[in-house]
Each structure stands twice: as C-alpha cells, then as structure tokens.
Amino acid sequence: MDIIQILKDDYQRFPENQTYSIYAEDVFFKDPLNKFNGLERYKLMIGFIKTWFMNVKMDLHDIRQSGDTIQLEWTLSWNTPLPWKPRIAIPGWSELRLNTDGMIASHIDYWKCSRFNVLKQHLLPLK
C-alpha cells in the first residue's frame, strides 16, 4: 500500500470517497476548531463538510514523508451556503504520524491564517 499515492488521490477528490482504511481506529485528529479521537468521529467531520459546504476543493501543494511522519501542504476552499455564497480559502498544512502498522495514528492540521480571518472571509469577498 503506497500511502503517499492514496493521500494524493484522496486530497484530489476530497471530501468524496476518502480511504478511511489507512487510519487507525483510534486516530487522533486536531485542527483549530476540533480535537478528538476515533475514526467514526473523523468520518462524521468529513461528512459534515460534504453535507454543508459547496464546491469543496483541496489543493495539495506538497507532500513528503520522513520516517513515520508525513507532511502535506494544502489549500482548502469552499462556498459557504449563505445567501451570497462566499468563497472561503484556508491555506495550511497537515502532519500525519504513522503507527507501527503503517496506519495514520495522528492527523494534525495547522492553518496559515487565523480563525478570525476565516470568519472575515464570510463577510468580505476574497480579493
């Protein structure tokens, strides 16, 4: 199983048809809005994105692996279902840690912008 290729493919079609079999059952996830353990909670979060946001796109800029750590740089964008349908973009990176079985045991997302910046994008269009 080439986890790098699987991740590239998953990010290209995000949030559709994600490969959940590469995640440990008790995977730890953290981003600026969420922090939890468990694959089922992770699936629910992806389902929320799929259900509530429109035109979701995950642009993968870089992916590299060093030992049991995989680092990805990306920009996540979508339209929020407000009457004016603002386009939101969050540049960021992820740090994934693999367990001894080669499964993703930890997935931590970092944003290159503040939560306030994301809120502001809902009110002021991107330039």
**Which CATH number, 2.40.128.630, 3.50.50.60, 3.10.450.50, 3.30.70.100, labels domain 3-123?**
3.10.450.50
Q: 121 CB contacts (<8 Å, ≥6 apart)? A: 86, 87, 88, 89
Predicted local confidence at residue 86, as pLDDT: 93
Predicted local confidence at residue 124, as pLDDT: 74
Residue 4 has pLDDT above 90, yes or no: yes
> Across-strand partners of 35?
30
Predicted local confidence at residue 127, as pLDDT: 52
Band of residue 19 on the pLDDT scale cut at 50, 70, 90: very high
Name the amino acid, one letter, at 123: L
Q: How many CB atoms lie within 10 A of CB 94?
A: 20
Residue 78 has pLDDT above 60, yes or no: yes
Tokens of 40: 């089922």
Q: Could you write out the DSSP letters of every residue in 47-87?
A: HHHHHH-EEEEEEEEEEEEETTEEEEEEEEEEE-SSTT--E
Share of the chain above pLDDT 90, in %: 90
